[in-house]
Amino acid sequence: MDLGIAGKTALVTGGSRGLGRAAAMSLAGEGVNVAICGRTRGTLDATVGDLKALGVNSVGVVADVSAPSSLDALHNEVVASLGTIDILVNNAGGSGATVNIDDTSLDDFKAIFDLNLFGSYRLMELVLPQMKEQAWGRIINIASIYGRESGGKLSYMAAKAALIAATNHAGRSLAKTGVLVNSIAPGSIKHADGSWERYERDNAPEVVEAFISQNMPMGKWGWPEPVGDMVAFLSSDRAGLITGACIPVDGGQGGSLF
For every residue of 135-185, DSSP letters joined together read T-EEEEEE--HHHHSS-S-HHHHHHHHHHHHHHHHHHHHTGGGTEEEEEEE
Q: What is the mean pLDDT of the chain?
A: 96
Whether 255 is covered by a domain: the verdict is: no
Whether 3 is covered by a domain: the verdict is: no
Nearest to 248, CA basis, from 146, 145, 153: 145
Q: Is 76 a residue whose pLDDT tops 70?
A: yes
Q: Is 1 a residue whose pLDDT tops 80?
A: no
pLDDT tens for 47-70 read 999 999 999 999 999 999 999 888
Judge if 124 and 172 occupy the same domain. yes
Report, as residue numbers or ranges, the catalytic residues: 156
Judge if 216 and 243 occupy the same domain. no
pTM: 0.96
Whether 4 is covered by a domain: the verdict is: no
Judge if 240 and 138 occupy the same domain. yes
Judge if 95 and 218 occupy the same domain. no
pLDDT tens for 191-224 read 988 888 888 999 999 999 999 999 999 999 999 9
CATH of the domain at 61: 3.40.50.720
Judge if 79 and 94 occupy the same domain. yes
Q: Is 205 exposed, middle or buried (0-12, 13-18, 19+ CB in 10 A)?
A: exposed
Domain extent, residue 64, equals 9-188+224-249
Q: Is 236 a residue whose pLDDT tops 70?
A: yes
Whether 113 is covered by a domain: the verdict is: yes
**b/e per residue 27-61 (b: at least 16 CB within 10 A):** bbbbbbbbbbbbeeeebbeebbeebeebebbbbbb
Whether 160 is covered by a domain: the verdict is: yes
Judge if 241 and 212 occupy the same domain. no
pLDDT tens for 143-158 read 999 999 999 999 999 9
Whether 136 is covered by a domain: the verdict is: yes
Task: List alpha helices for the chain, DSSP H.
Answer: 18-29, 41-52, 71-82, 106-113, 119-134, 145-148, 154-173, 195-202, 205-215, 225-234
Overall domain count for the chain: 2
Q: Is 2 a residue whose pLDDT tops 90?
A: no
Q: What is the pLDDT of residue 27?
A: 98
- Give the mean model confidence (pLDDT) for residues 43-49: 97
- Give the mean model confidence (pLDDT) for residues 153-182: 98
The band of 175, judged by pLDDT with boundaries at 50, 70 and 90, is very high
Question: In angstroms, rounded to a whole number, what is the distance separating the alpha carbons of residues 188 and 205?
Answer: 17
Q: What is the pLDDT of residue 222?
A: 95
Query: Could you tell me which residues come within 8 angstroms of residue 168 by beta carbon, excluding any fewer than 6 positions away?
Result: 183, 244, 245, 246
- Give the mean model confidence (pLDDT) for residues 25-48: 97
Whether 1 is covered by a domain: the verdict is: no
Judge if 206 and 79 occupy the same domain. no
pLDDT tens for 95-134 read 888 999 999 999 999 999 999 999 999 999 999 999 999 9
